Structure 1
Amino acid sequence: MPMLEQLETPALLLDEARMDRNIERMRNRVRRLGVSFRPHVKTNKCMDVARRMMETPEGPITVSTLLEAEYFAARGVKDILYAVCIAPNKLDHVAALQDKGVRLSLLVDNVETARLLAAWAKVRGCRADVLVEVDSDGHRSGVKPDSAALLEIGRYLEGAGVPVKGVLTHAGSSYDCRSVEAIRAMAEQERAGAVHAAGRLREAGIECPVVSVGSTPTALFAENLAGVTELRAGVFVFFDLVMAGLGACRLDDIALSVLATVIGHRPDKGWTLLDAGWMAMSRDRGTASQPVDQRYGLVCDLDGHPIDDLLLLEANQEHGIMGHRSRKIEGALHLPVGTQVRILPNHACATAAQYGQHKVLGPGREVVATWQRISGW
């Protein structure tokens, strides 16, 4: 097996022991909360990772693209939730997946889409498992739990012969919380909104067996999931600097990093140049609004320990500019050309999406495997 120092850079590194520890932590949470677990695989996009997260070889899982659904279905996963409101131009792709035996659940959050979906199901003569997306926090899509639109969508689908499988919500605003107490409150808001929406549908005669909630922060800090049937979360498998900034993990829980090499210096600016820019790290600046701004990534040594408060201060396409958090020039640490460093990402999903494979780290600095991952739609 090669050692870390032998890899060509930039490379996406995955610390297997940290990943397994993160998965076990989430499993313990799910057991304590007494719900089923539908892990989101959009962060890892990799069968070698996903099989460790799933409850059975057939799932369930959550995906964010139909390509993900196709990839995992080809590897035996049958119970898949596509957690983005369906676009009409994707329905033929949905049918192709169903023809392969995939139980693919879809989302809607408006009557217009419900009508198009029902018409398609009637013409194709196929079943559509549908959940109504509920907006529990004003973060993005979905209908309000108390809205007339919720019942309008439910009644239309049921009347058109498309059973409403349940409701789904995602507390994306948990990423904006500034304390654990705020995340706990958001988790309760998420739960209450979804349960209330399901209750309204049931009162209207719509069965609504599934109540699905989830985000990594709320999953980790929810105290009660009464009325919820399933929990979804994804980034927990790797964690990242945003999650650390929220208090959802420690720095040494972050399993994903980018290996980069020093290629030059600008002593007049206090810079060290790396061969990893935004094409290696992404442009995500998710920590910019947090109390500690990590710029484009936190720089660590090859064992994963932060170095002298060094950050990836700026990112060009292929050049990364490393320097001290304070941007000091005098006394700045300039590592020799050829030195390798590991950079912890702001957003694991966005950084991992830049790569076609994970280089898996075992004990010490040994690279024990290469796991392929997918990208695209």
Structure 2
Amino acid sequence: MNRNIGRLRERLAPLGVSLRPHLKTAKSVEVARAVMTTPQGPATVSTLKEAQFFADAGINDIIYAVGIAPWKLAKVIELRKRGVNLAVVLDTIEQAQAVAAASRGAGDAIPALIEIDCDGHRSGVLPGDKDRLIAIGKALVEGGELRGVLTHAGGSYSARGAEALARCAEQERRSVVDAAAILREAGLPCPVVSVGSTPTAHNAADLSGVTEVRAGVFVFFDLVMAGVGICQIDDIAISVLATVIGHQREKGWILVDAGWMAMSQDRGTAKQEINQGYGVVCDSSGRPYDDLILADANQEHGIIMVRPGSQKSLPDLKIGDRVRILPNHACATGAQHRSYHVVHGASDIVEAEWQRFGGW
């Protein structure tokens, strides 16, 4: 984990941008303190429960990076009254009008960033939709604060190869820089230009005009990121420790006490070149076995098999032996658990237990 954090910091330093890490992956105060540049932030969250949880820990520079629903503005105002510099995200005139009205009612200009759709992956205003962009900005400043523009290159998760990833990063950058220019030319403020995805953060060659980068899963990495080519298997810092509880030798199965409740049902690698099932199986020190995956899962039972088409053999794992299983999606697997047991490298000595939280 520490190596992953250091790697991204070193990469961004010469590009002249700040790191505003997304804390939704770990949902842990200890991890947040390890990855943020100061104990107070800056940080990104995906739920208002996260915002409150991290605010309680003294983190007070936060972007809630999911489109705001008007009924949630009361909670935003409550947190801001506590001294939290909490900004919201929106992409419609209706949302902007709601933020402006709530700001006037509270006597507090709620800051908001306009989300830009850089690649058609999800939500946001198209960067070339000048009229809509300006209309949202004008509606927002009638009481609220236009803090800037923000985008997320979700399409980069489907890119393969350094050239394709670099193109995604440049497309992401260009979309928000162009949108910021439109707002400024219309006489509207745009101090923050925010981009962020783990693949583009690791492949951007130029971040001119960008003020900050948001990324989250880079802290732990996972098999999806390895499949994209952003990390190696050895970089994955999160695993589920499971115990062998049975064999079905005629079927080529080893049974463990980690099913989809432990791993999550995220099968993100199923669409990639290498399908990793529910996870890659390692020995207790974290060293992967050759072509061994958690091929299937029930609620609390996991079925370990040799990867289909492989000529490798099952390892001689006895009842009670421990294995570590690397997840497809660190965020989803982490969400199944209440804490992290922290070890150093291949050691099995638990040095700390870090609490995490879930829910909304």
Structure 2-normalised TM-score?
A: 0.97
Residue aligning to 1:6 = none
> What CA distance in whole angstroms lies between the structure 2 residues aligned with 1:180 and 1:89?
42
- Note the 1:101-250 alignment, pairs <5 A: 101-147=83-129, 148-158=131-141, 160-250=142-232
CA deviations 1:317-365 (Å, max 9, x no partner) are 1111110101779954452111110000000000001111000002522
Residue 301 of structure 1 and its aligned partner are, at CA, apart by 0.4
* Alignment partner of 1:366 out of 349, 355, 358: 349
**Which letter maps to 1:197?**
A
Residue 57 of structure 1 and its aligned partner are, at CA, apart by 1.3
**Which letter maps to 1:84?**
V
> What CA distance in whole angstroms lies between the structure 2 residues aligned with 1:104 and 1:133?
16
> What CA distance in whole angstroms lies between the structure 2 residues aligned with 1:100 and 1:374?
21
Distance change (3 Å), C-alpha of 1:333 and 1:52: closer
In structure 2, the gaps of 5 or more residues are none
**Which letter maps to 1:23?**
I
Q: CA RMSD in A?
A: 1.4
- Note the 1:1-377 alignment, pairs <5 A: 19-147=1-129, 148-158=131-141, 160-326=142-308, 332-333=314-315, 335-362=317-344, 364-377=347-360
Q: Percent identity?
A: 57
**Which letter maps to 1:354?**
Q
> Which of 321-330 and 91-100 deviates more?
321-330
Distance change (3 Å), C-alpha of 1:163 and 1:269: same
> What CA distance in whole angstroms lies between the structure 2 residues aligned with 1:213 and 1:249?
20
CA deviations 1:140-163 (Å, max 9, x no partner) are 0101001132111012112x1322
Q: What secondary structure does 1:358 align onto?
A: strand
Aligned residues of 1:270 and 1:329 also touching (Cα < 8 A): no
Aligned residues of 2:25 and 2:331 also touching (Cα < 8 A): yes
Aligned residues of 2:20 and 2:42 also touching (Cα < 8 A): yes
**Which letter maps to 1:365?**
D
> What CA distance in whole angstroms lies between the structure 2 residues aligned with 1:55 and 1:330?
45
Matched length: 358
Q: What secondary structure does 2:271 align onto?
A: coil
Residue 89 of structure 1 and its aligned partner are, at CA, apart by 2.0
Residue 367 of structure 1 and its aligned partner are, at CA, apart by 0.8
> What CA distance in whole angstroms lies between the structure 2 residues aligned with 1:329 and 1:339?
23
> What CA distance in whole angstroms lies between the structure 2 residues aligned with 1:358 and 1:170?
28
Aligned residues of 2:112 and 2:147 also touching (Cα < 8 A): yes
Aligned residues of 1:272 and 1:321 also touching (Cα < 8 A): yes
Q: What secondary structure does 2:351 align onto?
A: strand
Distance change (3 Å), C-alpha of 1:328 and 1:29: closer
**Which letter maps to 1:305?**
R
CA deviations 1:89-112 (Å, max 9, x no partner) are 211111111111100010010111
CA deviations 1:276-328 (Å, max 9, x no partner) are 01110011111111111111100000111111311000111111111010177
Distance change (3 Å), C-alpha of 1:330 and 1:227: closer
**Which letter maps to 1:285?**
R
**Which letter maps to 1:340?**
R
Q: Which has the higher contact order (CA 8 A, sep 6+)?
A: 1
> Which of 332-341 and 52-61 deviates more?
332-341
Structure 1-normalised TM-score?
A: 0.92
> What CA distance in whole angstroms lies between the structure 2 residues aligned with 1:324 and 1:66?
42
Aligned residues of 1:270 and 1:330 also touching (Cα < 8 A): no
**Which letter maps to 1:185?**
R
Distance change (3 Å), C-alpha of 1:28 and 1:329: closer
Q: What secondary structure does 1:49 align onto?
A: helix
In structure 1, the gaps of 5 or more residues are 1-18
